Amino acid sequence: MVSGRINSAPLAGALARVRSSLLAMLVGLFVLVSALLGCLPKAQAQDLAQDLSEVSDPGTTAAAYLDQALTARSDVMVVLDQSLSLYDPWDGAESRLQRVQRSLPDALVALPDSARTGVVTFGHRRAGDCADIQVLTNPVERPLDAQLMQDWQATPSPAAGERPLADAIETAAARIMRSSSDQGGAIVVLTDGLDSCGGDVCALATRLGQHQIPVHLVGLGLEQSEQMALSCLPARTGGALLLAAVAEEVHTHIDVALSRSHAANARRNAAQIARLVLQDQDLVLRDLGRVDGDMERVDEQVTALETRVQAIAETDLLTAKLSGEALDMAPFSPEIDGVQSEADRLLAQLGDREQMLGRFSAQAQGWEGPSLGLQQRADFAARLSMASPDLVPLSENMREGYRQIMERGSAVDAELTVRLGRSQALKARLVALEAGLQGARTAADEALGLAARIEAGAAVTPEAIPEVAAAHPVIAAVVERDQTIAALRAERGQLAQQLLDTRNELNAARQEIVDVTRQREAAMAGVENARLLLNRLRENQDLLKASLHEATARTPGESMNTLDAADQMAEAALRQRLDVVLGQRDSLQVDQERLQQALMALTAERDSTQALLRQADARIDLLFSENQELISAAGVCTLNEGGEADHLAAAGGFPLSPPDPWLTGSAVRDSEARVLQDILGQSLSSLRVRRGQVNLEGLRLTPRVGVVPEVAPSLILASSTSTTDE
């Protein structure tokens, strides 16, 4: 069974170790303070060491102690013996008490304003009463002033009085401890004899020494034995034994006792302030050491991050990608993100350290108050040294301590400034690193995007090239290649347009040839019809002539002559029109030959254009071949031009139909055919009129049915000419 009690041994050991470490630190501080106050007596140095050991109370913070030390005042209690023996005359008519009453106010007036004094008297109110102790005033409730001094000086002399010296000193110590808390104080005892109430002043002195309350004893005409019995008071408390053998020494000894009391308080208070300031500075320096270590680590980490960012920036992703490596942002994104995260963490860490340095700076500025307090206490000791020359070394040491603490504070402040500057420099490096990291990320994305465009065969223009890749040799070759391809494509487009225009012209020529051919065929058909009509007319003429010859046998010869003349005129007109038609046919043949020559020229031009296209295709094929060699040699770009070549071949092939044998020319005008028809119609009408006239004259010639009607009705038109009667 495990006991439910907690073993307190480990906890006690841990507390002991903590106490030991605190004591060790305080011992180190004690060494520095002792150096500042090296001229103090050994007893005072021991008191200071004891004070250093007691201040390490964990329940009170250094700031609270420092506030208490800065607000502390120098409290001194004067224990005045007013027993019956002090009223005895001394060196004349003046008593010891009167001498004290005259010297004490003068000594109090000479003290600085920060010195507060209280008075405890005994043996002056009731005879034979060991409890006759009166707190005339204390430093807190009402410090000693002129009115109190007047009231005290007017106190009537008792008939008798005891000397409860130990109890009076203990009462004064209680008032000091109440008013000063742990800041301490001092007691000045003015007496002319030993305790008469059975008090043990030596045992009391031991306890007062433990509470760091020095007792300065001013003996007013003490005997040798009394001096020996009371010497334990100053010896055990760190005070001074001042013996006034004559009345003239009372004032001097009171000044010395008060000055030493307040000087001891100032020394102790200054030592406490110095100790707390030094402790605070040591803590700041310790934390600065930690900050230095942190900054060293941050510096190393920033350097490592800069190396990583430089490695990322120097990676030639474009060449690696164009060389065929399967690269993308996958292996670089985690690295970049990791560097970014680390940089953000370091920036946050530097921000924390800067806040810490800011607190240190505010803490260092807070040292101005304690430093001013040290200066005030050094000045206070200097004023006290005017009454007690043996305090001059103490005053000088306190001033030297103030100077050293000021120098140390300035050094700490300079160290803070250096650390803050270093932090700012590291932060600037991190900000620049993040900017470089973002630039590396952008450059990597642009390089991979450009490589993807090159691999996809997209044209790369100088405007589309990132600035970081502008000087890349592969990019220069790719841009030159794309510019050449663009120029060839433009030239090919021009040739294709020329070929298309030529094709359109050839198609137009073909259509014109078709139209001319149709017109020629129509003209040839008209000529053939005219020949047939002429032959038929000749046959009809022959028939008419035969009929006329039969009729002429019974008619006069003049009629026959008239008919012959008309026939000859009609035949001449027909021959004339036939010649016109034949001339037009010859003109059409000339136009046909001319069109054939133009067609041959267009065909030759088409063949030349096709040859130029074939040369352009050959140049493109040659460029593609050189491009493949460039990709194979430099590992830079693979442009699939197969589809482009097919498209070029498809765009360049414009098959033409074989030229027609007939060329286009001028169309045969319809009016010419109509003229021919008019001529034939006129001749036929004339013959009909003549034959009708013959019938009317009684020649009784019957027309030959079937001859004239064989002529196509469309070719027989009404004649516009008239004939005369015989």
Q: Are 239 and 186 in contact (CB under 8 A)?
A: yes
Residue 469 near residue 445, CB atoms below 8 Å: no
Nearest to 263, CA basis, from 177, 144, 389 = 389
Predicted TM-score (pTM) of this structure = 0.46
Residues 67 and 179 in one domain: no
Provide the token pair at 519: 């017109």
The string of pLDDT tens digits covering residues 198-230 is: 899 999 999 999 988 899 999 998 889 999 999
Query: Are residues 59 and 114 both part of a single domain?
Result: no
Asked whether residue 500 falls in the same domain as residue 615, the answer is yes
Of the candidates 246, 279, 306, which is a domain's last residue?
Answer: 246
Domain co-membership, 331 together with 429: yes
Cα-Cα-Cα-Cα dihedral of 485, 486, 487, 492, to 10°? 90
- Is residue 451 assigned to a domain? no
Let me know whether 129 and 198 are in one domain.
yes
Residue 8 lies in a domain: no
State which of 141-155, 234-248, 298-312, 649-663 shows the largest mean pLDDT: 234-248
**Tokens found for residue 170:** 């203990």
Mean pLDDT over each residue of the chain, to the nearest integer? 69
Do 86 and 48 share a structural domain? no
Between the alpha carbon of residue 319 and those of residues 51, 312, 469, 473, 475, the distances in Å are: 77, 14, 10, 10, 9
436/479 same-domain check: no
Which range has highest mean pLDDT (2-11, 268-277, 456-465, 597-606)?
597-606
Q: Inform me whether the pLDDT recorded for 329 exceeds 50.
A: no
Domain that holds residue 501: 473-715
Task: Please identify which residue in the block is written with the tokens 């220069």.
Answer: 476
Model pLDDT, residue 23:
43
Q: Which of 423, 444, 465 is the last residue of a domain?
A: 444
The CATH number assigned to the domain holding 88 equals 3.40.50.410
DSSP bridge pairs for 118 = 77
Q: What angle do CA 399, 402, 404 make, to 5 degrees?
A: 110
User: Same domain, yes or no, for 51 and 128?
Assistant: no
Other Cβ atoms less than 10 A from the Cβ of 99: the count is 23
pLDDT confidence of residue 366: 61
- pLDDT tens digits, one per residue of 438-469: 777 777 777 777 777 776 767 676 666 666 56
Q: Which of 569, 338, 571 is nearest to 441 (CA)?
A: 338
Do 552 and 685 share a domain, yes or no?
yes
Residue 61 and residue 183 share a domain: no
Main-chain phi, psi angles of 26, to 5 degrees: -70, -30
Q: Does residue 454 belong to any structural domain of this protein? A: no
Asked whether residue 20 is assigned to any structural domain, the reply reads: no
Residue 639's Cβ-side half-sphere holds a number of Cα atoms within 13 Å equal to 27
Tens digit of pLDDT for each residue in 600-631? 887 887 788 778 778 877 877 776 676 666 65
| Number of domains the chain is built from | 3
Q: Could you tell me if residue 261 is inside a domain?
A: no
Assess if residue 429 is contained within a domain: yes
- Reading phi first (left if > 0) and then psi (alpha if -120 to 50, else beta), residue 133 is in beta
In a domain, 450, yes or no: no
In a domain, 548, yes or no: yes
Identify which has the larger pLDDT, 724 or 602.
Answer: 602
Instruction: Name the domain boundary from 194, 216, 246.
Output: 246
49-63, 576-590, 681-695: which has the highest mean pLDDT? 576-590
- Same domain for 367 and 433? yes
- Give the integer Cα–Cα distance in Å for 83 and 102: 17
Q: Do 518 and 641 have their domain in common?
A: yes
Q: Which residues contact 499 (CB under 8 A, 6 or more apart)?
A: 606, 609, 610, 613, 652, 654
Handedness of CA 132, 136, 140, 141 (dihedral sign): positive
* Sheet containing strand 74-81, strands side by side: 133-137, 115-122, 74-81, 186-191, 215-220, 241-244
Exposure string for 381-419, b = 16+ CB within 10 A, e = fewer: bbbbbebbeebeebbebbbebbebbbebbeebbebbeeb
Residue 327 has pLDDT above 90, yes or no: no
Lowest mean pLDDT among 54-58, 198-202, 434-438: 54-58
